[in-house]
Amino acid sequence: MKVYDGSQTDSSQSSTPERIKVGIAEYKVTTDAAVLTTSGLGSCIGIAIHDEVSGAAGLVHIMLPTAEDVGGGNRAKFADTGVAALVEALEAEGASREGMRAKIAGGSDMLDFSENGSSIGSRNSTQVRKTLEEYDIPLVGEDVGGDHGRSLRLESATGDLVVKSANAESTTL
């Protein structure tokens, strides 16, 4: 008879990948088979980049299109500087731009307070695409737009990005 006392003696439990939470305006990189997660994506966008050759993967949760719009600050807060920071961190872990592939999700039009008709979500999406293009990183999957929130789970071992939407079934990119 097995007795469960809270200690982890079962070897199958030790093979569970580590879960790393990525907060708003943060990024994390792993070279292990960790699972990177983020939630609360409305107009924000989660950018997942994976390099299959090196095994490096990273996730950034950006809030706004460009650092220049508000005079700079935390690099991970902005689409332009957040992508740059993530790419630099991945390269520091042995990833190469030639092997990097990106997937994005978020960019909803939850609340539109803009005066020029272009929502923060759509402006974020446009800037993310532009910055990825500048770094020659192909965008191979996306779930953007709409009017609903999302949460993400990046399976770093495979590069799969699981998107959970507030109003739809989970999707794997």
Query: Distance between CA atoms of 2 and 160, rounded to whole angstroms?
Result: 35
- Give ∠ CA 52-39-110 in degrees, rounded to 5: 120
Q: Above 90 in pLDDT, residue 2?
A: no
Q: Above 90 in pLDDT, residue 141?
A: yes
Domains and CATH numbers, the chain: 17-172 (3.30.1330.200)
What is the pLDDT confidence band of residue 5, given thresholds at 50, 70 and 90? very low
Q: What are the tokens at 156?
A: 């770093």
What is the pLDDT confidence band of residue 7, given thresholds at 50, 70 and 90? very low
Q: Above 70 in pLDDT, residue 1?
A: no
Tell me the pLDDT tens digit for each residue of 46-70.
999 999 999 999 999 999 999 887 7
Which sign does the torsion angle of CA 124, 125, 126, 127 carry?
positive
% pLDDT > 70, the chain: 87
Query: Distance between CA atoms of 8 and 168, rounded to whole angstroms?
Result: 35
Query: Distance between CA atoms of 129 and 50, rounded to whole angstroms?
Result: 16
Q: Above 50 in pLDDT, residue 164?
A: yes
